Chain A
Amino acid sequence: MNFLHQLLEKQRPLFAKGGKLERFYYVFEALETFLFTPPTTTPARGVQIRDAIDLKRMMMTVVIALLPCLFYGMWNVGHQHFLAIGQTATFAEKFLLGFKLVLPIILVAYASGGLVEVIFAIMRKHPINEGFLVTGMLIPLVMPVTIPLWQVALATVFAVLVAKEVFGGTGMNILNVALTARAFLYFAYPTDISGSVWTYLGQEAKTVDGYSGATALAIIAETSANLKSNFTHGAAVEALNKVAWAPGLFSFENLFFGAIPGSIGETSTLMCLIGAAILIITGVGSWKIILSVFAGAYLTGLLLNAFPLNAYMDLPAHYHLVIGGLAFGAVYMATDPVSAAHTETGKWIYGFLIGFFTIVIRVFNPAYPEGIMLAILLMNVFAPLIDYYVVQANKNRRLSRATV
């Protein structure tokens, strides 16, 4: 591999100060450091040895943790398609169809977001940060498979620009970038990201009798709205089990395993838990946040169960954990270290409130079927406030010590 490095090094003068391509130095730097850990050594003062970790490796860990969701999502895209048109298909056929549909979305997200990153790195003269490795993967996974590609590009560009670069780039952003992309589409093009968009039906295919592309969240919300206060105990679960065109589609097990309509990568709670295990074992994702989101959602669900005024409030609390994008949001979105609370105590509060607000938005807000996106964005905004109080407590401890 030495020849490759030498080849790269030969190009360095072009990009160095005074070189022809000076302004593209950080593009060169990104490529070279991607291929080779640079030969830089520690300075004369300060630590003389450094930990083996770097940001690339850390971000790569998150990408790897996303792979179970990605692969499962690809299969599920195919699975939902064939289920809807009433054909049987092999595992490979399902996966390949999903692969064919999902890959362009991923490529578009990486390309459009990456372009913005590069332009800003050149303009602002800072290195290209590795954070986009993760964002570029997260954005496709929270999109419906039917999303037009130009919308993916637009949303990604918007999110990277407005959620990140405007605030000063990686490490400075307040909002989670991937969720900003989703929220942008949600409010700018609501028809393309809600309703029956979750399943790819193809051009001329006919759907099975009674087909409806509704998600579990939509079914429960509709049931609850129809019945109002005249509901019987267990009505929501009954409505889920009654889906006629695909019996058992919304059974608790199926909701947990994730062979249901939804965004590409978020349907399977099981895969999210595998990803969570990877993040927690490697220490890259905060277990405190993941656990407290689930705890917050479950306890809020239980609380609502205690005073059921409609069918949604009556929905068993454990159902809340497997429907919608709660698990995906808890594991991959809430744990984004930059937009989450930065203090350890703050992480507990931050996660718990995300879980709480997710359920509150789901159950009480008729306009938004899913609450996790807005709950996380809301708590992103409040995370600095939570940190403020935790930091203030630390300051007060120091201050009270002084006056004793």
Chain B
Amino acid sequence: MSKVIKLKKGFDINLAGKAALQLTEHHPETVAIKFDDFPGMYRPKIVVKEGDTVKAGSALFFDKAMEDVIYASPVSGEVIAVHRGEKRKPIEIVILCDRTIQYQEHRKFTISEIANLSAEDALTHMVGSGVWVQVIQRPFGIVANPHLAPRDIFISTFDTSPLAPDYEFIFKGQEQYFQVGIEILRKVGKCDIHLGINAAAEVSKVFGSVNNVRIHKFMGPHPAGNVGVQIHHIAPINKGDIVWTLHPYGVIQIGKLFLEGRYDASKIIAVAGSEVKQPQYYKTFTGANISKLVANNLKSQHVRFISGNVLTGCKIEANGHLGFYDHLLTVIPEGDKPRFFLTEGWLAPVTNRLSFHRAFGLLSFLNSKTKEYVLDTSTNGEERAFVMTGAFEQVVPMDILPLHLIKAILANDYDGMEALGIYEVIEEDLALCEFIDVSKQPIQQIIRQGINMMRES
């Protein structure tokens, strides 16, 4: 049995409104692919126009810097909008969804055919079908370049972020696809595949019996489930290394492509959060419109819809669409109320607003660990200069000095960034720093800024 890697640092944010293990079909009216979900894209070239009909798996666009990787339509239907912003920068492509999905048919493989498939053929099949976008490259956390061989491939099979979906539930019954996905990745990557497994949970049905992978067990508070943290403890990324990371969903999608001959962008998502009447799971599609999910399903009206979790997610409108890589819709109250300093503000004792700190009046640390919090979007203070030290280190379970890394980025110190570990992190790994930051700085934005600087240098 592999040994358990115990992480002490980190912080669990226990929010109210966890999704019940109950599944409903949800067929969205529209789906959208948003370009902001691919931070690594240089120059997208859109190959459809408004009014075109597409099948699930048809190419919508590609990146001129990586022309062979197509970004495919999750559903079949009519392209009803290509939204652009300033300087014609593309924002999103919206597709009106057919009632029954028509798939672009690809070749189906049997298990033995897969075993005999060459790496080149498998790669070509992946990049031309839409599934390649699931392969993320570190450093930088961007869609991987198919022509650069990885040192290792890492897959985290659990999510420790707030209100995270239960992977055992959303991937139930997909064992065969997952195994085939692993075989394909082993072929294409020609390297070891590392699986990060939650040591605290029961033996995983989906991931427990996978073959040809190296299993690593992790235990600890969030961000123990982040693949970046796991990489750091299994085989850290050094200068010049390239590794791939995949969400289990991506592995399963690859497996389905080869076994069923389809780019299957259906996914199970959790709709959760304190303002959802019935938090539960829905089977829908990548980029689904959320309006039907939240209509008549809200406890209050003044809320924020977040595609993803509350730490790394993105605000969307009530009729907006889920992000490409998200498996969660979180709904929490907006916090745009002024609070008088003596009664609810900075001099008042508070127990119901969660804090990592214990400064005067912050009493949430006295609450039981199982207390579920209803937190709103208030910044709880204003942006200030960096003053506090020693706090970020307590929520980053890696041998990294977060404050120094952030300051190196702000100082445009390329050598410093590199030496302090910019290659090892992406936004999500330091998201907790942003949450606990006394000075309310936009840490994740700074990290992406640093990553972009390194990419362009």
Residues on A lying within 8 angstroms of B by beta carbon are 1, 4-5, 29, 33-58, 60-61, 64, 127, 129-131, 169-172, 281-284, 286, 337-338, 340, 342-344, 347, 391, 394-395, 397-399, 401-402
Contact = CB atoms under 8 A, between A and B. Distances in A.
Contacts of B173: none
B295 interface: no
Contacts, number: 221
A261 B265 CA distance: 78
A55 B387 contact: yes
Given A40-B336, A40-B378, A58-B359, A49 B385 contact: no
A283 B332 CA distance: 29
B338 A37 contact: yes
Contacts of B388: 58, 337
A161 to B, nearest CB: 17
A351 to B, nearest CB: 13
A44 B381 contact: no
B382 A38 contact: yes
Contact of B387 (A45, A61, A131): A131
Contact of A395 (B334, B419, B436): B419
B390 A41 contact: no
B6 interface: no
Contacts of A57: 346-347, 359-362, 381
A286 B393 CA distance: 13
A94 B363 CA distance: 36
B338 A39 contact: yes
12 contacts: A35-B341, A36-B339, A37-B346, A40-B336, A44-B314, A46-B445, A51-B437, A52-B364, A54-B440, A170-B387, A342-B404, A344-B393
Given A54-B381, A171-B385, A398-B238, A60 B347 contact: yes
B315 A48 contact: yes
Contacts of A284: 357, 359
Interface in B350-380: 350, 353-362, 364, 375-380
A402 B347 CA distance: 49
Contact of B310 (A5, A48, A338): A48
Interface of B: 13, 36, 236, 238-240, 304, 306, 310-315, 330, 332, 334-341, 343-347, 350, 353-362, 364, 375-391, 393, 399-401, 403-404, 419-421, 431, 434-440, 442-445
B442 A46 contact: yes
A225 B153 CA distance: 72
Given A5-B338, A37-B380, A53 B419 contact: no
Given A55-B438, A129-B385, A397 B380 contact: no
A172 B389 CA distance: 13
A46 B447 CA distance: 11
Contacts of A343: 389, 401, 404
Given A41-B335, A57-B346, A51 B380 contact: yes
Contact of A397 (B338, B377, B399, B431): B399
B381 to A, nearest CB: 2
B334 A41 contact: yes
Interchain residue pairs A-B with the least CB separation, the first 7: A54-B381, A171-B385, A402-B238, A52-B353, A395-B419, A44-B315, A61-B360
A52 B350 contact: yes
Contacts of B419: 395, 398-399
Contact of B377 (A37, A41, A60): A41
Given A55-B387, A58-B438, 19 more contacts: A38-B382, A39-B335, A40-B379, A41-B304, A45-B36, A45-B314, A47-B310, A47-B312, A47-B434, A49-B311, A50-B435, A51-B357, A57-B359, A171-B385, A282-B359, A286-B390, A343-B401, A344-B393, A402-B240
A129 B189 CA distance: 52
B384 A129 contact: yes
Contacts of A170: 384-385, 387
A41 B440 contact: no
A55 B379 CA distance: 12
Of the candidates B240, B332, B381, B385, the one having the most CB atoms from chain A within 10 angstroms of its own CB is B381
A46 B444 contact: yes
Contact of A35 (B330, B340, B355, B360): B340
A235 to B, nearest CB: 43
Contacts of B359: 53, 57-58, 60-61, 282-284
Contact of B338 (A36, A42, A171, A347): A36
A48 B330 contact: yes
Contacts of B337: 39
B445 A391 contact: no
A51 B356 contact: yes
A198 B13 CA distance: 52
